[in-house]
Amino acid sequence: MKHYFKSEAVIIICSYLIVYLSLNIKNMEELIKNVSQTAAISDEQARMAIAEVSTYLKNKLPKAFHSQIDNLIEGGKLSEGIKEKLMDTATDVREKTEDIIKEVTEKTEEAIKAFRDKMDEILSKRKE
């Protein structure tokens, strides 16, 4: 899609979309009206801008979030399913991080032991 808007208008549109998502404007038509008035563009241009921002967000987020973006833009709320996915992802990240830390700790302890053993070997050869 071609970029028909000045950067200021895009900033206004993105800001409205974020506010819309947070405050849950009642419907898409209300969002279009607010964007078109604030950015001084037609309703059709506002509709296109909102679609462009939606596409941008979808390109930046995992596919699992795409239907949620559509739902939010249409006036819905974040579903329990997506909240659960977010919590599951956070739990997975925590568990993987703990595993990595444990593995790094074990490898570090092994390296320290090997270093000590080598130093003991070197020092015992010097004593002889």
**Residue 21: which pLDDT band, with cuts at 50, 70 and 90?**
low
Under 8 Å CB-to-CB from 8, ≥6 apart: which residues? 39
**Residue 64: which pLDDT band, with cuts at 50, 70 and 90?**
confident
pTM of the model: 0.44
Task: Select the more confidently predicted residue: 108 or 11.
Answer: 108
Q: Locate the domains of the chain by residue range.
A: 7-73, 79-128
Cα 22 to Cα 1, 72, 119, 128, distances in angstroms:
26, 9, 61, 76
SS3 27: coil
Least confidently predicted of 17-21, 62-66, 81-85: 17-21
Token pair listed for 115: 């270093």
Amino acid at site 70: D
**Residue 79: which pLDDT band, with cuts at 50, 70 and 90?**
low
Give CA 98 to chain center in angstroms: 21
Amino acid at site 22: S
pLDDT score, position 108:
94
**Residue 53 near residue 17, CB atoms below 8 Å:** yes
**Residue 3: which pLDDT band, with cuts at 50, 70 and 90?**
very low
